[in-house]
Amino acid sequence: MSGGTILAVSAAPGHGFSKRPTTEITLVAGLGVAGDAHAGETVKHRSRVARDPTQPNLRQVHLIHAELFDELAPRGFALAPGDIGENVTTRGLDLLALPTGTLLRLGEAATVELTGLRNPCYQLDRFADGLMEATLDRAADGSLIRKAGVMAVVRTGGVVRAGDAVTVTLPEGPHVALAPV
């Protein structure tokens, strides 16, 4: 299934909030983005490490859809790739609608498996006042919609660059909606 395009790739060696856009990133199977602070087999997000440092890292790669930036721009949020901590910024792919377990081939070789949604946190407000609320919405049934991107683990490593295609492979079986991880 065709997917979309990678608009930008970003990484950061330290635990800051934003990540620096770069020409390419290297995904390493079972670890994440080479040289990124969140790469590893076990959790690297500081709040999760404090709770249990032995948890598996289901947040090796953060992907976000550039359409969110477009949606938020009229509300005064001027966001660019990497600003809110994502590693891969896509265009033309509804990441939030994909089920858990979806495989995304990024470029020619790298493959990631979607594990869940990014749960927007207070750090978004530190970046831009009101951004956390802006990345949340309500469905018709009142349930919370989290729009701050999706998280994945690396299944097959490879180099990923802006302009690369994204190919989607849906999992077999029933559609299991992404939940926060």
**Helix residue ranges per DSSP H, 52-148:** 66-72, 123-127, 131-134
Contact at 8 Å (CB) between 37 and 45?
Answer: no
At position 122, the amino acid (one-letter code) is Y
Mean local confidence (pLDDT), 57-66: 97
Mean pLDDT of the chain: 95
* Dist. CA 82–CA 63, nearest whole Å: 10
Domains and CATH numbers, the chain: 2-169 (2.40.33.20)
- State pLDDT tens for residues 104-153: 999 999 999 999 999 898 899 999 999 999 999 999 999 999 999 999 99
Listed residue (167, 131, 133, 156) closest to 6, CA to CA: 167
Confidence at residue 50, expressed as pLDDT on a 0 to 100 scale:
84
> If you average pLDDT over residues 73-89, what whole number do you get?
97
Q: Band of the pLDDT at 1, cuts 50, 70, 90?
A: low
Residue indicated by tokens 């909030």: 17
| pLDDT confidence of residue 99 | 98
* pLDDT of 34 strictly over 90: yes
Model pTM?
0.96
pLDDT over 80 (residue 52): yes
